[in-house]
Amino acid sequence: MSDLREQLNRTPLRLSGYVADRFTASSGSEEIGVFDPTTEKQVATLFESSADEVDAAVSAARMAFDKGPWGRATVAERQLALNAIHDAILSHADELALLETINTGIPLAQTRTVHIPRAAYNFRFFAEYINQAGGDVFTQEPGLMSLVTYEPIGVCALIGPWNMPLGLTAMKIAGALAFGNTCVVKPSELTPLTVTRLFEIIEGILPEGVMNLVNGRGHVTGTSLVSHPGIDMVSFTGGTVTGAAILGSLAKGIKGSAMELGGKSANIVFADSDFEQAVDAALMSSFMNNGQMCLAGSRIFVDRKISDRFIDSFTRRVKALKIGDPALSGTEIGPMINHSQRERMERYAGSGLGEGATLLAGGHRCANLNTGFFFEPTAMLAPTNELAICQEEIFGPFAALQLFDDEDEVIAKANDSDFGLVGYVWTEDLNRSMRVASALRTGTVLVNTPIVRDLRTGFGGYKQSGLGREGAKGSQAMFTEMKTTIIAREPRKMPRMGMAGA
């Protein structure tokens, strides 16, 4: 790790876009520094894709879709390519995990065991899925057969966030390609290392122009991409404010979209839960990935009957979390992605105290870590659900605990949120788990389990957490046009118009 880090510090990578099978020229572009949040040193220079370059990328994808072989490739051919990408990622797994850790500050233990295997698995999953996925046939209408089939939608703009750069962007790429589309990918300007490297390691697997890359800031490259008339849809994962701006720009062209946005997920711990499991999961849901997770279950509701014991155990464990260099084994929390994300943590710590919350742990920059954007894992006990720390997505290692007395009360509080991504329920009472799961207004409910993504199911949000679902059928809906073909199975009886003079 330190070898690669030193090498990047000595000679930062030069990153650009990738259009029609070639990395684009970098001269004359705006140059943006990409940093390692642990050392605060520059690890790459990003040559920003201009509007012209975005245009070239969309044109290449359009040409590949309209005239190239990919749109007409058989399922077997697409499976072959997807499986080859899966294998290419796994054969570079160590390097990709290191790059991801250097660029994001997420512990290597997590990028190695979760992010990169997940990125690869997306391709294998969709390769398998398209072999079984089908349409529908209806024969209820007398004399007719109605067929529902799914066709590729065209050129997909795929925009990913910085908190799981390769894993989340790979899911979009795999889904778009599996259903026969071509694409233009834009990673976050903060974390372009692994997605750009992906284009190098899969060179030659796909026909020219099927997968293109633009690199740059959201308000420059991202805006050019989502407002380009040549795209057919946008699949976006990121913040709710950005998602809303993109939706506004898509409305003009009546373009489709899928939006995976923010969350503020309730994690409800009833007195009859398996206590140790519930504490373990509350820690994991709040602090894994440095707490920078859309599906963080960091709005923790604790049954008053067990609150003293729960808060004591949770707080002791938060204070014992191992913070430091994410490359070292044993590190549980790395740095925030950048300076402004750490300031955001400070602001929420201040606002929590100002609004009457009690500090249980953390709340400050790490006194002994002067380099790197480190912030202490933080837990606060909030008097009500109205506090900003209970309503707004903080996106860092920050848990906001509240107490409750009964089931109806906690359901109402859990649903009192602009978001609706995930709900976590901890109880040993089956009937209660079913009642609460159906009452929660969230796209996913997890009962007695921490974070799980099962690609066979749809993942996405109610309310301001998004539009559409990612996963098998959800991705099919996202990346295809549904076509209805109705065929007469016998001559049709119909009124014969215009027969008066016949």
CA nearest 9: which of 108, 112, 103? 103
3-state secondary structure 82-100: HHHHHHHHHHCHHHHHHHH
Q: Check binding of 217 to ligand NDP (CB under 6 A).
A: yes
Q: Check binding of 117 to ligand NDP (CB under 6 A).
A: no
Sign of the CA dihedral running 259, 117, 299, 377 = negative
Q: Check binding of 223 to ligand NDP (CB under 6 A).
A: yes
Please report how close the Cβ of residue 51 comes to ligand NDP at its closest, in angstroms.
12
Helix extents (H) in 185-299? 193-201, 223-226, 240-253, 275-287
Backbone φ and ψ for 228, nearest 5 degrees, come out as -75, 130
Q: Check binding of 237 to ligand NDP (CB under 6 A).
A: yes
- The DSSP annotation for 400-467 comes to EEEEESSHHHHHHHHH-SSEESEEEEE-S-HHHHHHHHHHS-SSEEEES------TTS-B--EETTEE
Rounded to whole angstroms, the Cα distance separating 286 from 263 reads 12
By beta-carbon proximity to ligand NDP, the closer residue of 71 and 239 is 239
By beta-carbon proximity to ligand NDP, the closer residue of 60 and 296 is 296
| Interface of this chain with ligand NDP, residues 446 to 475, rule: CB under 6 A | 461, 466
Query: How many CB atoms within 10 Å of residue 105?
Result: 30
Question: Which amino acid would we find at residue 30?
Answer: E
Q: Check binding of 476 to ligand NDP (CB under 6 A).
A: no
Please report how close the Cβ of residue 249 comes to ligand NDP at its closest, in angstroms.
7
- The region of 21-29, 55-63, 65-73, 260-268 touching ligand NDP under the rule CB under 6 A is 260-268
Rounded to whole angstroms, the Cα distance separating 149 from 296 reads 36
Q: Which 8-state DSSP code applies to residue 114?
A: I
By beta-carbon proximity to ligand NDP, the closer residue of 180 and 458 is 458
By beta-carbon proximity to ligand NDP, the closer residue of 183 and 190 is 190
Among 13, 54, 156, 246, binds ligand NDP (CB under 6 A): 246
Query: How many CB atoms within 10 Å of residue 266?
Result: 29
SS3 category, 73 = coil
Please report how close the Cβ of residue 213 comes to ligand NDP at its closest, in angstroms.
12
The answer to whether residues 112 and 94 touch, using CB atoms and an 8 Å cutoff, is: yes
By beta-carbon proximity to ligand NDP, the closer residue of 190 and 389 is 190
Q: Check binding of 53 to ligand NDP (CB under 6 A).
A: no
Q: Check binding of 263 to ligand NDP (CB under 6 A).
A: yes
Terminal Cα distance for the chain, rounded: 87
- In the complex, residue closest to ligand NDP by CB: 218
| Interface of this chain with ligand NDP, residues 482 to 501, rule: CB under 6 A | none
Question: What string marks each residue from 15 to 34 as x (binds ligand NDP by CB under 6 A) or -?
Answer: --------------------
Rounded to whole angstroms, the Cα distance separating 219 from 66 reads 29
Among 12, 107, 152, 222, binds ligand NDP (CB under 6 A): 222
Q: Check binding of 186 to ligand NDP (CB under 6 A).
A: yes
By beta-carbon proximity to ligand NDP, the closer residue of 404 and 479 is 479
SS3 category, 239 = coil
Active site residues: 260, 294
By beta-carbon proximity to ligand NDP, the closer residue of 123 and 462 is 462
Q: Check binding of 239 to ligand NDP (CB under 6 A).
A: yes
Q: Which residues contact 202 (CB under 8 A, 6 or more apart)?
A: 84, 85, 88, 211
Q: Check binding of 207 to ligand NDP (CB under 6 A).
A: no
- The region of 1-9, 144-152, 218-226, 325-333 touching ligand NDP under the rule CB under 6 A is 218-226
Please report how close the Cβ of residue 200 comes to ligand NDP at its closest, in angstroms.
20
Among 29, 59, 188, 313, binds ligand NDP (CB under 6 A): 188
Please, which residues bridge with residue 419 across strands?
463
SS3 category, 352 = helix
SS3 category, 391 = helix
Q: Check binding of 159 to ligand NDP (CB under 6 A).
A: yes
- The region of 51-59, 231-239, 308-316, 377-385 touching ligand NDP under the rule CB under 6 A is 231-239
Rounded to whole angstroms, the Cα distance separating 474 from 481 reads 12
Among 68, 107, 161, 363, binds ligand NDP (CB under 6 A): 161
**Interaxial angle between packed helices 75-91 and 193-201, expressed in degrees from 0 to 180 and rounded to the nearest 10:** 120
The answer to whether residues 141 and 125 touch, using CB atoms and an 8 Å cutoff, is: no
| Interface of this chain with ligand NDP, residues 372 to 431, rule: CB under 6 A | 393, 395, 421
SS3 category, 36 = coil
By beta-carbon proximity to ligand NDP, the closer residue of 226 and 302 is 226
Q: Check binding of 190 to ligand NDP (CB under 6 A).
A: yes
Widest Cα–Cα separation across the chain: 97
By beta-carbon proximity to ligand NDP, the closer residue of 372 and 396 is 396
Among 84, 93, 148, 245, binds ligand NDP (CB under 6 A): 245
Interface with ligand NDP by CB under 6 A: which residues?
A: 159-163, 168, 186-190, 217-219, 222-223, 226, 237-239, 242, 245-246, 260-263, 294, 393, 395, 421, 461, 466
